[in-house]
Amino acid sequence: MPKKSEKTGREKTTDIYRLLSEASEKKRQKERTELLQAVGVEDKFEEGDITIDMKTCKGVECKFCIDVCPTNALYWKTGEVCIIKELCIYCTSCVLNCMVDNCIEVRRKRQNGETEVFCKPQDVSLLLNKINARNRVRIIKDLFPDDEAYLKQYGKHARARLKKKKRKSSRPNSKRP
């Protein structure tokens, strides 16, 4: 039956394309792992991408991104910044040091599925602040799992402070005539 064979043929073609694309992705991943191992850097993100807008890049006047890249994924060639995408670990150092907002764009996906986009230094600073705040909360929770633990350590001082505050507020106002 012509209808059936036509359909099967199309499915086979799709399968071949899918297999070829999977094979090339596996090859790319293998090359990436080998390259990163060679430079001694750990790959911490599930996936990611980096792009540079050559229309706004200051190029020869700048090259800060090339200087700060820990894996040498960025290099100077024929008058512009070039990228070896396989070497990029999406660390965002280049974005943090770029003198032009929205010139470099780094996108990355964390192991937990969270995606992040960085286009300017403020984006990186905001993330660092968020991580620091999260770490502070975690450390405090480890030190004082509940109110009892806090009061055991600092209860005496906390009570003394409270007493002092109460005494101050009960004093007659000296500015009054």
119 binds ligand SF4 (CB under 6 A): no
From the list 95, 122, 125, the residue with the least C-alpha distance to 108 is: 95
Task: Between 68 and 144, name the residue whose CB sits nearer to ligand SF4.
Answer: 68
Q: For ligand SF4, which is the closer residue by CB, 14 or 51?
A: 51
| Candidate residues 7, 26, 58, 130; the one interacting with ligand SF4 per rule CB under 6 A | 58
SS (H, E, C) 98-165: CCCCCCEEEEEECCCCCEEEECCHHHHHHHHHHHHHHHHHHHHHHHCCCHHHHHHHHHHHHHHHHHHH
Q: Does 124 bind ligand SF4 (CB under 6 A)?
A: no
Kindly tell me the sign of the dihedral angle through the C-alpha atoms of 59, 62, 66, 70: negative
Q: Can you tell me which of 9, 59, 145, 155 binds ligand SF4, judged by CB under 6 A?
A: 59
Binding site for ligand SF4 (CB under 6 A): 50, 52, 57-59, 62-65, 68-71, 73-74, 81, 88-94, 97-100, 103-104, 106
